[in-house]
Amino acid sequence: MRFVAIFFAFIFCICSVAGTDIPEKLMEVEQLAFQMCELDGTVGLTWLEVQTCEVTYADEIAENNIPIPSEDNFIAADLNKDGTLMFDEWMEWVEYEESTEGSG
């Protein structure tokens, strides 16, 4: 289940190279993690599902020193503010954050 652990390393962090597309490997890992953490039968992740996934994979997260996403990051990435983070929203948020990373 290492891919789920990798999910937490990337779901709310920004790719290191500003202004580039999201790396294909990151996209694959994220898609898989969105599927693995899905619990309520509805497409997308709620904050409760993210928290549950964190608990479920707590040992892997701790072993790999993976930063836990904050609720503030979740809320920021939930672009339409409906409480459900869709994969497309995550992609758009990461791309936006990448594009503004060096302009602050």
Angle between helices 2-10 and 47-56 (to 10 degrees): 130
Cβ atoms of 11 and 69 within 8 Å: the answer is: yes
pLDDT average per 10 residues of sequence, the chain (104 residues): 54 45 76 87 94 89 80 94 95 85 62
Specify the pLDDT at position 28.
80
Per-residue confidence (pLDDT) for residue 9, from 0 to 100 = 54
Distance of CA 84 to the CA centre of its chain: 12
Question: Which pLDDT does position 7 carry in this prediction?
Answer: 57
pLDDT at residue 77 in the model: 93
Residue 38 is predicted with a pLDDT of 92
The pLDDT value given to residue 55: 92
The 10 Å CB-count burial string (b at 16+, else e) for 23-62 is: eeebbebbeebbeebeeeeeebbbeebbeebbeebeebbe
